[in-house]
Chain A
Amino acid sequence: MSENRDRTTKEPLFHISKRVSLPMWLLWTIRIASVAAALIVCAVVIVLFTGDNPISIYKTMIEGAIGTERRVWGLVQSTAMLLCVSLAVTPAFKMKFWNIGAEGQVLIGGFATAACMILLGNKLPPALLMVVIIVVSIAASAIWAVIPAIFKAIWNTNETLFTLMMNYIAIQLISYYVYKWSVPAGSGKIGVINSGTEAGWFPELFGQKYLLNIIIVAVLTVFIYIYLKYSKHGYEISVVGESENTAKYIGINVKKVIIRTMLLSGAICGIAGVLLVSGTDHTITRDTAANRGFTAIMVSWLAKFNPFYMILTSLLLVFLQKGAIEISTVFGLNDSFSDIITGIIIFFIIGSEFFLNYKIKFRKSHKEVADK
């Protein structure tokens, strides 16, 4: 301490530098530690509110998420839906294009699906109707997503704010049509579309309602992984994401990449819309996307844009949601409880990123003073 005082410049207590790389075991230790820390904090919160012991509460959570066969299917289905939206936002994020409009893009896709089911449900043969639904929905979402991208490419319009606003335009547009098409008229609800004919519904595979959804999302996961990792497009996306100037220098047409990637992002959101309306709900409301557009951003970020890690992160979030809903039912609490738990977990995981990316060096010859 006395030596330090002699110096003209004061050495700070610690300094932070960027890590070059991290051994695999440390990477996972930090990640698992952060989840564990988050679960401990959640346990404290839960005990404060319910007064029960944390072990039995986590048992309740697991029970709620995977207690019965039906719940397991529900869990897998919800995970698949969240994963699908996450896959959609990932290419754009990798390019550092902050598309937070997935909510609206999914809704527009779902809306297109519902519109086809309502307007063409009795006019086309089922197979043709399915094709029309898929094409129209994908096109609708892709167009919805590419509008901000075009402005970004031409005038560098802030895409975060633009896509955010597009969400609410989509929501209001759908609210308008929900009133217009409501059954019975004026009720403000569309209800199950084509419940008699099941036109435009996804077929059941092996007696499982959601199996087709899950298979489609699984295929999509592999496709996005290959697309990002092994295709020329994927390479261009990562170069633009790392440094736009480098991309320009090596002759990548940045504007083209932005527009093309957002078209892809939108198209996958369109698929998510089809899966939600044709494959799951068979109706449309302004809540059909159920905040997945926003949650997907966290899923994608936590998984470092790797589609296979995204399976884990989306499973984690959906599991927590289902579990927390069960806790609130059992203890008579409000089911928004799950959002609090999700929030806490995400705070911890994104907080732990810091320790993955940076290392802290403490001042030498000094008692260690850890502030965390």
Chain B
Amino acid sequence: MIISFIQRAIMQGIPLLYGSTGEIITEKSGNLNLGIPGIMYVGGISGVIGAFLYENSLSSPDAANPFLIVFIPLICCIFGSFVMGLIYSFLTTTLRANQNVTGLALTTFGIGFGNFFGGSLIKLTNTDVPSITLSLTSSYFSKTLPFASRLGVVGEVLFSYSFLAYSAIIIAIITTLFLNRTRAGLSLRAVGENPATADAAGINISRYKYTATCVGSVIAGLGGLYYVMDYACGIWSNDAFGDRGWLAIALVIFTIWRPNLSILGSILFGGLYIVHNYLTGIMPNINMGTQELIQMAPYVVTIIVLVAVSARKKREDLPPESLGLTYFREER
């Protein structure tokens, strides 16, 4: 039971890890993108649309091309979330709109977009299937490493996940190295801390903000895709993704803007999300209400971290200094 708990916790954590890595990159450029929940929905539904159209164009399940069936949803997801990132960057960087308002509008739009297509895709494409069930695509997305089952407990805990799960961890590690070990990463952090200084040092502010936001959105969008294709076994149901997007933003604060800590943090948050299912075995009289209280825990610890960090005022733990502010060169 412990093993299956760890497994489920990691699978719950992966979308959060994608979301928080994406948001960290974005926030390091000084953009507080509150559109992440919407972007994750769009990433998920874009992949679903791609997979749905491809699956329905097949004459039989055997005709599926193993490369295309993974590639099409992936590229659709990347495209969908990239466009969302582009909308955000265009409005906040080029048109200097308020970041909070833009982000919230993006979330409204994105969740609406996801639920709309989730609810209307079948009608719009005139196909006669009862629900969006992409078990074929999902079976490719959730392929695990072939030797996982032969390694016993170690194999189940460490090697029983799909390629998107491992990519999430690899992306988080690469992001950490990028931010701390490369020149471009240093410049990106400079843009987020103090754009005026970075500008004076010859860094192209707009380019960094655009790139960071769009790359961040794409990474976050993959989290949505992972959720639908692997965790939910290819079944799209409206609002099933829930508040995971906001949880991803909480995770950013909880891990004090460090993607490598996010790997552990996401598993912890994922565990808290599902722990009530396993507590029933130990405490039989636990009820649905208590489960809601346990789900409160990630937010409470996040606030504690946020307050603690701000009280300690240790420079490297604080949020990027210009987070949430628009930069206009002439206005200093």
Interfacial residues, chain A to chain B (CB-CB below 8 A): 16-18, 49, 98, 100, 151, 154-158, 160-162, 164-169, 171-173, 175-180, 186, 188, 291, 294-295, 297-298, 301, 332-340, 342-344, 346-347, 350-351, 353-354, 357-358
Known: A18-B330, A336-B112, A336-B238. 14 other contacts (CB 8 A): A49-B120, A98-B100, A164-B249, A172-B293, A297-B104, A333-B120, A340-B112, A342-B109, A346-B101, A350-B98, A350-B101, A351-B91, A353-B97, A354-B94
Q: Is B235 positioned at the interface, with any CB of A under 8 Å from its CB? A: no
Asked whether, in the complex, the Cβ of B120 is within 8 Å of the Cβ of A347, the reply is: no
B250 nearest in chain A by CB position: A165
Residues of chain B within 8 A (CB-CB) of A354 are: 94-97
Residues of chain B within 8 A (CB-CB) of A100 are: 34, 100, 104
B111 nearest in chain A by CB position: A339
- Which of B96, B101, B311, B330 has a CB less than 8 Å from the CB of A298? B101
Q: Measured between alpha carbons, how far is A160 from B120 in the docked complex, in Å? A: 34
Asked whether, in the complex, the Cβ of A301 is within 8 Å of the Cβ of B101, the reply is: yes
Residues of chain B within 8 A (CB-CB) of A343 are: 105-106, 108-110, 112-113
B98 nearest in chain A by CB position: A301
Main secondary structure of the interface of A (DSSP, over half): helix
Asked whether, in the complex, the Cβ of B253 is within 8 Å of the Cβ of A161, the reply is: yes
Q: Measured between alpha carbons, how far is A294 from B249 in the docked complex, in Å? A: 16
Residues of chain A within 8 A (CB-CB) of B328 are: 18
Asked whether, in the complex, the Cβ of B299 is within 8 Å of the Cβ of A298, the reply is: no
Q: Is B302 positioned at the interface, with any CB of A under 8 Å from its CB? A: yes
Q: Is B123 positioned at the interface, with any CB of A under 8 Å from its CB? A: yes
Asked whether, in the complex, the Cβ of B101 is within 8 Å of the Cβ of A18, the reply is: no
Could you give, for residues 122-133 of chain B, a 1 whenever the CB lies within 8 Å of some chain A CB and a 0 otherwise?
Answer: 011000000000
Residue among A175, A186, A298, A336 having the largest count of chain B Cβ atoms under 10 Å: A336
Interface residues in B294-328 (C-beta closer than 8 Å to A): 295-296, 299-300, 302-303, 306-307, 310-311, 313, 319, 323-324, 328
- Which of B123, B306, B307 has a CB less than 8 Å from the CB of A333? B123
Asked whether, in the complex, the Cβ of A336 is within 8 Å of the Cβ of B111, the reply is: yes
Residues of chain A within 8 A (CB-CB) of B296 are: 168-169, 172-173, 176
Q: Is B54 positioned at the interface, with any CB of A under 8 Å from its CB? A: no
Q: Among the listed stretches B12-20, B158-166, B282-290, which one makes contact with chain A, having 4 or more residues with CB under 8 Å of it?
A: B282-290
Chain A's nearest CB lies how many Å from the CB of B250?
A: 6
Q: Is B142 positioned at the interface, with any CB of A under 8 Å from its CB? A: no
- Which of A17, A154, A176, A294 has a CB less than 8 Å from the CB of B292? A176
- Which of B102, B124, B253, B311 has a CB less than 8 Å from the CB of A155? B311
8 contacts between A and B (CB under 8 A): A151-B307, A155-B313, A157-B311, A160-B32, A161-B306, A294-B108, A343-B113, A350-B102
Number of A-B contacts (CB under 8 A): 175
- Given that A158-B306, A347-B91 are contacting pairs, would A298 and B120 also be in contact in the complex, using a CB cutoff of 8 Å? no
Q: Measured between alpha carbons, how far is A87 from B246 in the docked complex, in Å? A: 25
- Which of B108, B123, B324, B331 has a CB less than 8 Å from the CB of A18? B331
Main secondary structure of the interface of B (DSSP, over half): helix
Interface residues in B108-159 (C-beta closer than 8 Å to A): 108-120, 123-124
- Given that A297-B100, A351-B97 are contacting pairs, would A172 and B299 also be in contact in the complex, using a CB cutoff of 8 Å? yes
- Given that A158-B306, A161-B253, A357-B96 are contacting pairs, would A347 and B87 also be in contact in the complex, using a CB cutoff of 8 Å? yes
Q: Is B107 positioned at the interface, with any CB of A under 8 Å from its CB? A: yes
Instruction: Give me the 8 closest cross-chain CB pairs, A-B, nearest first.
Output: A339-B112, A343-B109, A334-B119, A179-B289, A336-B115, A172-B296, A175-B292, A354-B95
- Which of A169, A186, A336 has a CB less than 8 Å from the CB of B116? A336
Asked whether, in the complex, the Cβ of B307 is within 8 Å of the Cβ of A295, the reply is: no
Asked whether, in the complex, the Cβ of B287 is within 8 Å of the Cβ of A179, the reply is: yes
Interface residues in B249-283 (C-beta closer than 8 Å to A): 249-250, 253
Q: Is B62 positioned at the interface, with any CB of A under 8 Å from its CB? A: no
Size band of the interface chain B makes with A: 35 or more
A167 nearest in chain B by CB position: B246
Residues of chain A within 8 A (CB-CB) of B307 are: 151, 155, 157, 162
Asked whether, in the complex, the Cβ of A179 is within 8 Å of the Cβ of B249, the reply is: no
Q: Measured between alpha carbons, how far is A28 from B78 in the docked complex, in Å? A: 38
Residues of chain A within 8 A (CB-CB) of B112 are: 336-340, 342-343
- Given that A339-B116, A340-B113, A343-B106 are contacting pairs, would A169 and B330 also be in contact in the complex, using a CB cutoff of 8 Å? no
Asked whether, in the complex, the Cβ of B288 is within 8 Å of the Cβ of A179, the reply is: yes
Chain B's nearest CB lies how many Å from the CB of A210?
A: 25
B311 nearest in chain A by CB position: A155
Q: Measured between alpha carbons, how far is A113 from B182 in the docked complex, in Å? A: 55
Residues of chain A within 8 A (CB-CB) of B289 are: 175-180
Interface residues in B61-116 (C-beta closer than 8 Å to A): 87, 90-91, 94-98, 100-102, 104-116
Asked whether, in the complex, the Cβ of B119 is within 8 Å of the Cβ of A160, the reply is: no
Q: Measured between alpha carbons, how far is A82 from B145 in the docked complex, in Å? A: 51
Asked whether, in the complex, the Cβ of A351 is within 8 Å of the Cβ of B95, the reply is: yes
Chain A's nearest CB lies how many Å from the CB of B267?
A: 20
Asked whether, in the complex, the Cβ of A350 is within 8 Å of the Cβ of B292, the reply is: no
Residues of chain A within 8 A (CB-CB) of B243 are: 168, 171
- Which of A161, A162, A176, A298 has a CB less than 8 Å from the CB of B290? A176
Residues of chain A within 8 A (CB-CB) of B330 are: 16-18
Asked whether, in the complex, the Cβ of A161 is within 8 Å of the Cβ of B249, the reply is: yes
Asked whether, in the complex, the Cβ of A294 is within 8 Å of the Cβ of B293, the reply is: no
A174 nearest in chain B by CB position: B292
Asked whether, in the complex, the Cβ of B292 is within 8 Å of the Cβ of A334, the reply is: no
A353 nearest in chain B by CB position: B97
Asked whether, in the complex, the Cβ of B115 is within 8 Å of the Cβ of A339, the reply is: yes
- Given that A161-B306, A165-B302, A354-B97 are contacting pairs, would A188 and B108 also be in contact in the complex, using a CB cutoff of 8 Å? no
Chain A's nearest CB lies how many Å from the CB of B71?
A: 26
Residues of chain A within 8 A (CB-CB) of B100 are: 98, 100, 160, 297
Asked whether, in the complex, the Cβ of A179 is within 8 Å of the Cβ of B292, the reply is: yes
Residues of chain A within 8 A (CB-CB) of B119 are: 333-336
Q: Measured between alpha carbons, how far is A160 from B91 in the docked complex, in Å? A: 20
Q: Measured between alpha carbons, how far is A158 from B323 in the docked complex, in Å? A: 10
Residues of chain A within 8 A (CB-CB) of B287 are: 179, 186
Chain B's nearest CB lies how many Å from the CB of A317?
A: 10
- Which of A160, A173, A175, A340 has a CB less than 8 Å from the CB of B324? A160
Chain A's nearest CB lies how many Å from the CB of B119?
A: 3
Q: Measured between alpha carbons, how far is A175 from B287 in the docked complex, in Å? A: 12
